[in-house]
Structure 1
Amino acid sequence: MTAADTQAVEAKAPVAGGVNEPGTRPPAPSGSGGKGRAGRGRNGLLPYLLILPAIVAIAAVYAYPLARTVIMSFQDMGRRELWTGESPPWVGLDQFTNILGDSEFWSVTGRTVLFMTVCVVLTMGLGLLIALLMQRLTTWVRLTLTVALIAAWSMPLLVASSIFRWLADSDYGLLNTLIAKVAGEDFLGHNWFLNPWQGFAVIICLVVWGAIPFAVITLYAALTQVPKELEEAAQLDGASPFSVYRFVTWPVIKPVFIMVTTLSVIWDFNVFGQIWLLRGNKPEPEYETLGLYSFSKAFESTSFSQGTAIALITVVLLSGVAVYYLRQLIKTGEVE
């Protein structure tokens, strides 16, 4: 064997303590395998232990009432069972059959869907326009607007409802006074709530006014993530402002817009306090949405099981929206 062959063999031979050949794994230190697996096991349980108190609290607040609602919807609980503590009789699916076969329920459902749709469209449309406008404002004007939005968002519902009741008051309302100066004195004393369409217009204004701050702040935060260089490149290529928004801005903010819209659908579908307070704690039947309809059946008609059955149907109707919202959250997390 020549000297050159000897050097080639030594070059191929692995050096002790050095780098192994490609595709081979270095030997694990003695006694470290068991400890490593045990450490990974403890670390894997740590996140679940940290969120365990929150899970227990949520289960205590939501799981038990939800379970009681499901059970009561298959019973016939009235005032007697409530006061005496007797076990209400089981009626199976009779409550659901009676509700789904009642034309009043479908009328209330259609009213709720229409009310929710108008609120969501106005909230998201105005919210997006204001968010786009905030991009073109100076810093101090944008900061002032943000503070005003947060102040409106943090206002208690009772206070906001009282303000809107005063604005639409038939005798001393500011809205009637301003319209009377333009349309004539005949408009003074006009009652907006005699006509359900006009009354719901006032309620929608209150709901949208309270929901816009969240939409504006969230959408503006999404707009700040749009790369400026992409917008500038599109403008240099001769794209119109609408084309820049459609092909550059919208794809970036679309996931956030969809999530805010989904949340608005859930919130506006369950509107209760605004209608309840504006109608003096006793809404007329033509102002009832599903939440108010369930409350009316349970506490005014003393048919608690029927009220819980309506509430459970509402949960089922919204479960599809909730699943869609969770899917959007998962997709957003995967993209990030």
Structure 2
Amino acid sequence: MSAADTHEQVVGGRPLNPPPASHRPALTGARRTGPRNRRGRSLPYLLIAPALLVMVAVLGYPLVDTIVLSFQDERRNNLWMGISPPWVGFDQYSSVLGDGVFWSVVLRTVVFVIVCVVGTMGLGLLIALLMTKVSNWVRVTMSSVMIAVWAMPLLVATSIFKFMFDSDYGLVDQMLTRLPGIDYTRHNWFLDPTTGMAIIAGLVIWGAIPFIAISLHAALTQVPKELEEAARIDGARGFGIFRFVTFPVIKPVFVMTSTLSVIWDFGVLGQILLMRNGQPEQDYQLLGLYSYTQAFTVNSFSRGAAISVITVLLLSGVAVYYLRQLLKIGEVE
């Protein structure tokens, strides 16, 4: 047998001397970078491209137009006569940031948001925990009622609260007057801005609780029962189980819903306008309403645009905090 025949001899179907590396087939890793794999990586971006285009058209253009408007001085005569408004640079921002009324509105807005978010998240979490302890038919009934509240139009909900606290026929005044030693006949709750804003905060909390409670209840159903049983065996009870076992599991949903509540409560406008019959007093001004008033009541559209941009920047800080919290949660998991 020649050397060439020996080189070609095979054992078990494989050659004794494998071919040189230059003649071997390409490794499978090389095929992973082929056109098919590149198309697979780009497919998710192609799928979300239509949604991104719609978001840019619906949200991006108005935001850019508002920013441009804030550097101008556009008033009603510019709109009526078609005259281009003059550019004033940062004058609108200097005027707004140097106005003490604006900072009082910011402080009032921050306090209002804190009260609404704490009330919404606290009551929503308690209701969600209650839903895990009741029977199925009670849970379904609670969910149905909350969905009806969530779907109720803002005008209807505001009308109910106005009727309850009306100074002439208000249900709350009548019930309090029946208590011994208390006379709330024809009591106007909105003469004092503190009580008036508290009623509006109650309206906001009442309308936001269903979303928070149902979302947190869905998160609570994902808590492993084995972890709670193990904590009880180790001696944990009540709040300790919730703090060290339950809450870490629902924390991502809690952070998401609380951040959404902050953003929504910063934009409260319709509730105040409807409760104050379209003419809210100065002590009832929040940032969203203040921007609206400056633009359409004072007829300084650019000043209102500057206030809106400042509000967006404040909310961007909340969004950045929210994203950082999500990243931290992802790193821990």
TM over 0.5: yes
The amino acid that maps onto 2:238 is P
User: Could you say which residue in structure 1 is the equivalent of 2:166?
Assistant: 169
User: Could you say which residue in structure 1 is the equivalent of 2:14?
Assistant: 16
Q: Give the alignment partner of residue 84 of structure 1, picking from 76, 81, 88.
A: 81
Aligned residue for 2:179, secondary structure, equals helix
The amino acid that maps onto 1:124 is M
Output the CA distance in 1 between the equivalents of 2:75 and 2:13: 86
Quick check: 1:223 aligned with 2:217? no
Quick check: 1:245 aligned with 2:242? yes
Residues 262 and 321, structure 1, Cα contact 8 Å, conserved in 2: yes
Output the CA distance in 2 between the equivalents of 1:197 and 1:29: 73
Q: Give the alignment partner of residue 269 of structure 2, picking from 249, 260, 272.
A: 272
The amino acid that maps onto 2:65 is R
Output the CA distance in 1 between the equivalents of 2:12 and 2:70: 75
User: Could you say which residue in structure 1 is the equivalent of 2:179?
Assistant: 182
Q: Give the alignment partner of residue 101 of structure 1, picking from 94, 98, 101.
A: 98
The TM-score normalised by the length of structure 1 is 0.88
Count of residue pairs the alignment pairs up: 319
TM-superposed CA distance for 1:185, in Å, is 7.0
User: Could you say which residue in structure 2 is the equivalent of 1:285?
Assistant: 282
TM-superposed CA distance for 1:250, in Å, is 1.6
Residues 176 and 183, structure 2, Cα contact 8 Å, conserved in 1: no
User: Could you say which residue in structure 1 is the equivalent of 2:195?
Assistant: 198
User: Could you say which residue in structure 2 is the equivalent of 1:308?
Assistant: 305
The amino acid that maps onto 1:243 is G
Deviations 1:151-189 (A, max 9, x none): 111111111111111111111111111111115573121
The amino acid that maps onto 1:250 is F
User: Could you say which residue in structure 2 is the equivalent of 1:299?
Assistant: 296
User: Could you say which residue in structure 2 is the equivalent of 1:23?
Assistant: none
The within-5 A match list for 1:2-151 is 16=14, 27-28=25-26, 37-151=34-148
Deviations 1:258-312 (A, max 9, x none): 2211111111111111111111111111101001111111111111100000000
TM-superposed CA distance for 1:107, in Å, is 0.4
Output the CA distance in 1 between the equivalents of 2:278 and 2:298: 16
TM-superposed CA distance for 1:330, in Å, is 4.8
TM-superposed CA distance for 1:224, in Å, is 1.1
Residues 263 and 325, structure 1, Cα contact 8 Å, conserved in 2: no
Residues 75 and 299, structure 2, Cα contact 8 Å, conserved in 1: yes
The amino acid that maps onto 1:71 is V
Output the CA distance in 2 between the equivalents of 1:44 and 1:66: 31
User: Could you say which residue in structure 2 is the equivalent of 1:7?
Assistant: none
Output the CA distance in 2 between the equivalents of 1:87 and 1:204: 41
Name stretches of at least 5 consecutive residues in structure 1 with no aligned partner. Answer: 1-9, 21-25
User: Could you say which residue in structure 1 is the equivalent of 2:155?
Assistant: 158
Aligned residue for 2:235, secondary structure, equals coil
Residues 290 and 314, structure 1, Cα contact 8 Å, conserved in 2: yes
Output the CA distance in 2 between the equivalents of 1:292 and 1:218: 29
User: Could you say which residue in structure 2 is the equivalent of 1:258?
Assistant: 255
The TM-score normalised by the length of structure 2 is 0.89
